[in-house]
Amino acid sequence: MRQTTKQSDSLDWLLDELVQRVPAAREAVVLSADGLLLGASAELERSDAEHLCALAAGFSSLARGASRHVDGGPVRQTVVEMESAYLFVTAAGQGACLAVVSDADADIGLVAYEMAMLVIRVGENLTAAARPTTDAGDAG
């Protein structure tokens, strides 16, 4: 059973609704830009949700780096197409991302649209503060 907080509970039901409403959607998470789990759909155990957050944060970071390299502007969405699945990662408020995994036969336009609608609907509530950084000179 997944442990939740008040903030994640409020996101979890929205993610559950998204997964139930979108045909072929499997699971969804909201994460901070540095990969911390903020909310997850019901079918995900906490360890699986955290793993998906780490993957999504990595892809998001790579996409931002690529965009900087080619002067592409802000990254709107990253889509990873696999043989039997898609992974969608989109910005969701300041310092947060929404990630959705779907079957390969999903209507990718519909998945992207529903993700955008969720972000518009609750985007200001998806803001995540960055983790504080420590100065390497302070260690030890």
- Assign residue 88 the CATH number of its domain: 3.30.450.30
**Is 25 strand, coil or helix?**
strand
Residue 51 lies in a domain: yes
Count of alpha carbons within 13 Å of 2, Cβ hemisphere only? 20
What's the pLDDT at 8? 59
- Per the model's pLDDT, the better-predicted residue between 106 and 139 turns out to be 106
Q: Residue 53: its pLDDT value, please?
A: 98
52 in any annotated domain? yes
**53 in any annotated domain:** yes
pTM for the whole structure: 0.83
Please identify which residue in the block is written with the tokens 């998470």: 29
137 found inside a domain: no
9-38 pLDDT per residue, tens = 678 999 999 999 999 999 999 999 899 999
Task: Answer whether residue 112 is part of any domain.
Answer: yes
What band does 3 get if pLDDT is binned at 50, 70 and 90?
very low
Given pLDDT bands bounded at 50, 70 and 90, which one contains residue 126? low
Number of compact structural domains in the chain: 1
For residue 42, what are the domain limits?
6-129
CB 92 within 8 A of CB 126: yes
Q: Is residue 1 one of the residues assigned to a domain? A: no
